[in-house]
Amino acid sequence: MAARAQNLAEEAVLVFPGGMDRSLDYAHQATGSRRRVVGASSLAYDPARANYTDWVRLPLVTEPAFEGALRDAVEGKKIGEIFTPHPMIGDYLERRLAEIAPGVRLVHESLLDVPETYRRLTRAVDALTDGPWDVAGPPPRTEELGRIERYALFNHARTLPGQCDNEKIWTICEVLRRCPPGDLVEIGSLWGKSAFVLTWLARRFAIGPVLCIDPWSAETRHQHDEGGKVNAFADRMDFDAAFEIFQINLADFDGRWINFLRSTSQEAVAVYTEKHDVRSETFGRTRYAGQIAFLHIDGNHDHASVADDIALWAPLVMPGGWIVLDDYRWAFGHGPKLAGENLLSVYAGRIGAAFVADSALFLWLEG
């Protein structure tokens, strides 16, 4: 058993051709898993060479010398696996590898698999969104998303890193169909996954612009509840990178639909209430109405911070508007739950509907 594990550790993965995007991703992951990686290419000079510590040149698969050269590389470099994202090379090796180099595994991402990837997405979206799915609150103001639109929203969202799962996305979609025109404010955007969903839907349903508020800084991410156990993760995050990733993820929208304030929710409230005007290089200028139709609270999860976010921002939510409190049910602390219970009791007279979906608390303020 130990000898087998050692063999696996010693064998290398050959990535061919080494310069394709998926090849570079695969090589990066394999290196991260401490596997020995050998890049390969048929080009005399391949700039991708710089990404590999070991490299071999192979003839084109169509050339007679290819099979012999591959056999030599497998033996010489102790190759146990070949990865290729290239459709022709993958197809060729599927047919020939067992004979050229018996026992070597082929990992091939075939273009023929593309429809199946999308079928998995459309099946999951259909399972979530087909059939009776309704939310409490006012009747919808706008028609439902079409089938292809739904797939497009979820397909784009799944490519973004972050903490906004499909059930929450779909609930937000149904809530925004019932949302009056006004501003959408998000406290805590990180890489912009939920911000993307909000902005996509705000534009689609012509609700109003989204304001993302986040200091993108390790200090404010620090959480002290639960003995600060969530902090180790926050300490290792690169928030300048997160800020740039947020902008990359949202750059398809302009200032008509989104802008941001790089500050805490506590600092941002004065800017929002006094000026209603936000500018940034990435999105341009945004004029906010100064009335919040949809408030998403997903910042620091310490009880004091969530309570502060609610105290400062919930009074700015207009009649008929919505408040969403993320992680109301949360395994890592009690802050959102305690603050949410207080919110429910303070706003009891105004609440037209309240429910939990995908661990977030959704409130419709009727009056």
Ligand X SMILES: C[S@@+](CC[C@H](N)C(=O)[O-])C[C@H]1O[C@@H](n2cnc3c(N)ncnc32)[C@H](O)[C@@H]1O
Query: Interface with ligand X by CB under 6 A: which residues?
Result: 162-164, 187-190, 193-194, 213-216, 220-221, 264-265, 298-300, 305
Question: Judging by DSSP bridges, how do beta strands 277-280 and 284-287 pair with one another?
Answer: antiparallel
Residue 41 in tokens: 């290419």
Helix (H) or strand (E) holding 238: none
Between 41 and 249, CB nearer to ligand X = 249
CA neighbor of 13 nearest in space, from 103, 99, 100, 77: 77
Tell me which residue has tokens 């991260």.
32
Between 73 and 187, CB nearer to ligand X = 187
Between 38 and 184, CB nearer to ligand X = 184
Between 74 and 323, CB nearer to ligand X = 323
CA distance 38 to 68: 17
Report in angstroms how near the CB of residue 246 gets to ligand X at its nearest.
9
Residue 40 in tokens: 């390969």
Report in angstroms how near the CB of residue 241 gets to ligand X at its nearest.
12
CA distance 138 to 363: 12
Report in angstroms how near the CB of residue 18 gets to ligand X at its nearest.
33
Report in angstroms how near the CB of residue 206 gets to ligand X at its nearest.
23
Report in angstroms how near the CB of residue 147 gets to ligand X at its nearest.
25
Q: Which residues contact 267 (CB under 8 A, 6 or more apart)?
A: 261
Residue 51 in tokens: 């990404």
Burial readout 231-256 (b: 16 or more C-beta within 10 A, e: otherwise): eeebeeeebeebbebbeebbeebbbe
Report in angstroms how near the CB of residue 194 gets to ligand X at its nearest.
3
Between 101 and 190, CB nearer to ligand X = 190
DSSP-H helix ranges across 12-165: 21-32, 66-77, 87-100, 114-129, 147-158
Report in angstroms how near the CB of residue 94 gets to ligand X at its nearest.
39
Between 243 and 347, CB nearer to ligand X = 243
Cis previous bond, 181, omega within 30: no
Displacement of CA 46 from its chain's centroid (Å): 32
Between 79 and 197, CB nearer to ligand X = 197
